[in-house]
């Protein structure tokens, strides 16, 4: 899915258009078009100013957001606004202006114009923290050629199939240990009749520990012991810091961070303190990893192992020496900070949906059992033989996307819904409203992992833009392969060991920090099979 300008003719993707010809609009209508003064003119095209909007005064809009607590319900606000204004609208909040879209055909048009160095919205609070603390920036905060050079190096260790094959056994080991821990807890705390043991819990604390344990195992090549009876206070503080960082980010997106810094605003202080905890934790892990690796690199093999042991992403990057130590630290820290909530929270939603859809759960379990039996203990083969497992993750992320938008700044003028969008405009593909729209999905509120297997045969251009939880193309989530396999493997082992049900099948209320999550974590009942 990594595509660096190879998706079609270069004149379409990088803005080199003939002086006269045909222009295909987002709606798929072919109309005569030409270039006048460097701008594409389409017959009947409407101006940027004519795009429906939520109010022209960004500061009044921001004040309304604060008063009505809309930051926490931004996904619902977007959904309501699309229902009111149609499939495209403009919004200005404080210093931030954007065009919001939700139809796959428009998203397809947007990504055609992303260029060789795709750019998404910079999280300025994060960037400001790096600048005032003199930390290097990882690829999440970079753009242009510098971003591309670093990204290509990271792709080799976290995205390519050879890398996945190396770290998959590590994720599988942690997933198995999670189920063993759950089994032990069930024997101690569970209740049962006729020898059947049942445990009803809020699994979210355990899922957060699982996500941190799994990501650290891949990043550093070693376990950190979060499944012990007394997990380290250090790791618990890290999880707290990530949650605090995510919670304080959204309000800071619409205000100048350096002004808040000069004012000593509590919101900025909380945000910066959370990042300081994250960097401190990551620095300690990286230093331990570096010391360990420095004694074993002499025994390193060409396949990225030292003394026959996989050294993790950190070890791989250090061995190859293509990135400076500061850049390695920056990117490992970002991967660590971005790899906890973003997998633990979707797993909460997955357990809930499987629990309240027993027929779906049984279908996935039967496929998993058959695939596991044939795989001979090979986790990669087991996952390949269970497409419903992958469909389950895609379906969870359709209904509950981690990030509710994917953003791009088009490198050329484009036309969306017959409106002119100038190059350099922030355009947001709003994937929460898309995932729940009847215009995009049949029976959108029905949880149906099999829909993705049925849709694989579709050839329509826009069909590939209905699942965007990890982004798209060269700038998609760099931790995608880790996250996808981590979630699938845990669900696989849970379904092999336990039956899931829920005390309440009522829809979950959701809220947005920087990511979408349940207002109250769902309780799940685990029954031993």
Return the percentage of the chain with pLDDT > 90, whole number.
69
> Where along the chain do its domains lie?
48-294+310-497+507-528
Output 261 or 49, whichever has higher pLDDT: 49
Q: What does CATH list as the number for 48-294+310-497+507-528?
A: 1.10.630.10
What's the mean pLDDT in 288-317? 71
Model confidence at 231: pLDDT above 80: no
For residue 104, give the nearest of 453, 437, 421 by alpha carbon: 437
* Ligand-binding site membership of 477 (annotated): yes
Task: Please report which confidence band the pLDDT of residue 464 belongs to, taking 50, 70 and 90 as the band edges.
Answer: confident
What's the mean pLDDT in 408-429? 97
pLDDT at 20: 32
Task: Please report which confidence band the pLDDT of residue 348 belongs to, taking 50, 70 and 90 as the band edges.
Answer: very high
What's the mean pLDDT in 310-333? 91
* pLDDT tens profile 263-284: 889 999 999 999 999 999 889 8
pLDDT at 18: 31
pLDDT at 298: 55
Element (DSSP H or E) covering residue 423:
none
Taking CA 263 as the corner, what is the angle to CA 257 and CA 265, rounded to the nearest 5 degrees?
70
DSSP string covering 472-521, please? -GGGS-TTHHHHHHHHHHHHHHHHHHEEEE-S--SPPPEEESSSEEESSP
Range scoring the smallest mean pLDDT among 277-291, 354-368, 402-416: 277-291
With beta carbons less than 8 A apart as the criterion, state whether 481 and 158 touch.
Answer: yes
Three-class SS of residue 37?
A: coil
pLDDT at 264: 86
Write b or e for each residue in 270-297: b if 16 or more Cβ atoms lie within 10 A of its Cβ, otherwise e.
ebbebbebbbebbeebbeebbebbeeee
Output 294 or 481, whichever has higher pLDDT: 481
Let me know how many helices (H) and strands (E) the chain has, helices first. 20, 17
Calculated CA dihedral for residues 121, 242, 167, 311, nearest 10 degrees: 110
Task: Please report which confidence band the pLDDT of residue 190 belongs to, taking 50, 70 and 90 as the band edges.
Answer: confident
pLDDT at 129: 95
pLDDT at 149: 93
Q: What is the DSSP letter of 282?
A: H
Question: How many residues does the structure list for the chain?
Answer: 529
- The region, left, alpha or beta by phi > 0 then psi within -120 to 50, assigned to residue 409 is beta
Model confidence at 248: pLDDT above 50: yes
pLDDT at 235: 81
């Amino acid at each position: 899915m990594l595509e660096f300008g190879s998706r079609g003719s270069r004149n379409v993707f990088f803005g080199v258009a003939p002086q006269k010809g045909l222009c295909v609009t987002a709606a798929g209508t072919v109309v005569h078009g030409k270039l006048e003064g460097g701008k594409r003119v389409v017959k009947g095209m409407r101006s940027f100013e004519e795009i429906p909007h939520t109010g022209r005064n960004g500061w009044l809009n921001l004040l309304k957001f604060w008063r009505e607590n809309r930051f926490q319900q931004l996904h619902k606000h977007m959904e309501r606004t699309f229902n009111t204004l149609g499939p495209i609208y403009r919004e200005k909040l404080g210093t931030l202006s954007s065009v919001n879209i939700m139809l796959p055909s428009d998203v397809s048009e947007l990504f055609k114009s992303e260029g060789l160095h795709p750019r998404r919205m910079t999280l300025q609070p994060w960037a400001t923290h790096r600048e005032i603390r003199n930390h290097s920036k990882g690829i999440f905060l970079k753009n242009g050629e510098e971003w591309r050079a670093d990204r290509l190096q990271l792709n080799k260790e976290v995205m390519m199939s050879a890398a996945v094959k190396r770290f998959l056994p590590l994720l599988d080991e942690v997933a198995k240990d999670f189920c063993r821990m759950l089994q032990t807890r069930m024997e101690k705390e569970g209740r049962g009749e006729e020898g059947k043991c049942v445990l009803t819990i809020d699994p979210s604390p355990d899922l957060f520990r699982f996500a941190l344990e799994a990501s650290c195992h891949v990043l550093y090549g070693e376990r950190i012991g979060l499944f012990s009876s007394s997990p380290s206070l250090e790791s618990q503080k890290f999880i707290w810091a990530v949650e605090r960082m995510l919670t304080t980010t959204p309000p800071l997106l619409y205000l100048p961070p350096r002004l808040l810094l000069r004012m000593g605003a509590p919101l900025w202080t909380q945000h910066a303190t959370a990042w300081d905890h994250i960097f401190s934790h990551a620095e300690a892990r990286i230093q331990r990893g570096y010391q360990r690796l420095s004694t074993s690199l002499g025994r390193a093999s060409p396949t990225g192992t030292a003394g026959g042991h996989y050294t993790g992403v950190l070890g791989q990057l250090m061995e190859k020496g293509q990135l400076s130590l500061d850049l390695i630290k920056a990117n490992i820290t970002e991967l660590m900070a971005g790899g906890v909530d973003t997998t633990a929270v979707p797993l909460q939603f997955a357990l809930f949906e499987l629990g309240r859809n027993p027929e779906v759960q049984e279908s996935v379990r039967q496929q998993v059992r058959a695939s596991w039996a044939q795989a001979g203990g090979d986790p990669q083969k087991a996952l390949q033989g269970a497409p419903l497992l992958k469909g389950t993750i895609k379906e969870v992320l359709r209904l509950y996307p981690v990030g509710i938008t994917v953003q791009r700044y088009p490198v050329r003028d484009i036309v969306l819904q017959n409106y002119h969008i100038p190059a350099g405009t922030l355009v947001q593909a709003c994937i929460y409203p898309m995932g729940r729209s009847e215009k995009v999905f049949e029976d959108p509120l029905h949880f149906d992992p099999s829909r993705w297997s049925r849709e694989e045969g579709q050839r329509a251009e826009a069909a590939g833009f209905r699942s965007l939880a990890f982004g798209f193309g060269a700038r998609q989530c760099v931790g995608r392969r880790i996250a996808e396999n981590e979630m699938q493997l845990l669900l696989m082992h849970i379904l092999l060991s336990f039956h899931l049900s829920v005390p309440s099948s009522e829809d979950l209320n959701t809220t947005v920090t920087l990511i979408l999550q349940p207002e109250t974590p769902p309780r799940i009942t685990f029954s031993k099979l």
